[in-house]
Amino acid sequence: MTGPAAKRPAIERAFLLLFLAASSIAFAWLIGPFIGSILWGVIAAILFTPLNRRLLAMAPKRRNLAATATLLVIVAVAVIPAMLLGAALLSQASATYGQFQSGQIDIGRGFVEAERHLPQIARDWLADLGLSDFTAVRERIGRGVASSFQSLAGQAFNVGQSAFAFFLSLGVMLYLTFFLLRDGRELTAIIERRLPLAVDHRRLLVSRFVAVVRATIKGSLVVAILQGLIGGVVFWSLGIGGALLWGVAMGIFSLFPAIGTAFIWVPVTVYLLGTGDLWRGGALFLCGFFIISSVDNIVRPIMVGRDARMPDYVVLIATLGGFALMGFNGFVIGPVIAALFMAAWEIFGDGQARPQAANSSDSARNNL
């Protein structure tokens, strides 16, 4: 059939694709303010689905009850501790900023002490690098630290002003988590059926997404909590001020492969050794090298195994890019995008290989 009747299905399909793209973009714009809540709702549902299934096995026809009980566990083990930690962190940050303003913490004095303990060979080396003017350096660093704490205090003020928005986002996350726990299997099946791919490719994408989310949270977040906790305890036991701040900072930097907690404890160690505090500097170096940094090498393989394991350089670039574009949410979204990118190329390579294999088989049969 030719003519207008033959062109109608093609026009309808083009219009449908255009309408699908436009409505998808509009929906993404609509849910944009709650993208973080949706992300963490999906993460919570993926992580706690095994617990929900165990509860459901004890009461097979009580899906609402099982999802509610799982949600209460999430609030008890994740939400409430995170809120308490955030409140304590803001309190200590405000107190530390007050100590900077009052002069109790003087970065300049520390540089004077460090300069006094430097050997002559080190001074000559710094002079060759153009860093002999310690007064200008310490003033610049002092201004930088002061401005950093001012920014942190401003963020704390904004958090206080945005309490309503925070609790609204938290409510959306918990609400979504409930329905994902209750109806997650059906929703996953619907998504799989809607993907225009072969069955094995659909399952590969879904399984890779779930595996990377679990690996990122279990392997990165748990390690970050452990390293931040251990680092904070080490700083507190050595009498170093702001142990909670240092611990949280080490937990954040532990999310970045190849950077890790050394970004925090190494400069503090150098500072302590440079100011003549050899005992605490040596103790911090030993604890940082043999305890804090070794947590990643010991715990991560146990928590993650080899599932969804990507090269460290891919994880590093994806995590840094995610943080740069999306803030804290990016440490999950970045690796997930990288994993889906690698899975897409794996599917593409498999699709390219199948026709070649079929052609080789046909030519072999023709030669017989």
Q: What pLDDT is recorded for position 318?
A: 81
Q: What pLDDT is recorded for position 283?
A: 92
Q: Average pLDDT for residues 263-286, to the nearest whole number?
A: 84
What CA–CA distances, in Å, run from 14 to 1, 194, 197, 334, 349?
19, 18, 19, 32, 28
Band (21; pLDDT cuts 50, 70, 90): confident
Q: What whole-number distance in Å separates Cα of residue 108 and Cα of residue 102?
A: 14
Altogether, the residues listed in the chain come to a count of: 368
pLDDT at 61 over 60: yes
pLDDT at 116 over 70: no
CB atoms within 10 A of CB 56: 20
pLDDT at 305 over 70: no
Q: What pLDDT is recorded for position 186?
A: 83
Band (158; pLDDT cuts 50, 70, 90): low
Q: What pLDDT is recorded for position 110?
A: 58
Q: What pLDDT is recorded for position 207?
A: 76
First-to-last alpha carbon distance for the chain, in angstroms, is 41
Q: What whole-number distance in Å separates Cα of residue 100 and Cα of residue 102?
A: 6
pTM exceeding the 0.85 threshold for the entire prediction = no
Q: What pLDDT is recorded for position 194?
A: 74
Band (163; pLDDT cuts 50, 70, 90): low
Of the given ranges (125-139, 273-287, 343-357), which has the lowest mean pLDDT? 125-139
Percent of the chain at pLDDT above 70? 70
pLDDT at 280 over 80: yes
Q: What pLDDT is recorded for position 69?
A: 93
pLDDT at 12 over 60: yes
Q: What pLDDT is recorded for position 356?
A: 54
Question: What are the sequence ranges of the domains in the chain?
Answer: 34-184, 197-351
Highest averaged pLDDT of the listed ranges 89-98, 227-236, 260-269, 315-324: 227-236
Residue-wise pLDDT for 23-35, tens only, equals: 888 888 888 888 8
Of the given ranges (83-87, 320-324, 353-357), which has the lowest mean pLDDT? 353-357
Q: Average pLDDT for residues 242-248, to the nearest whole number?
A: 83
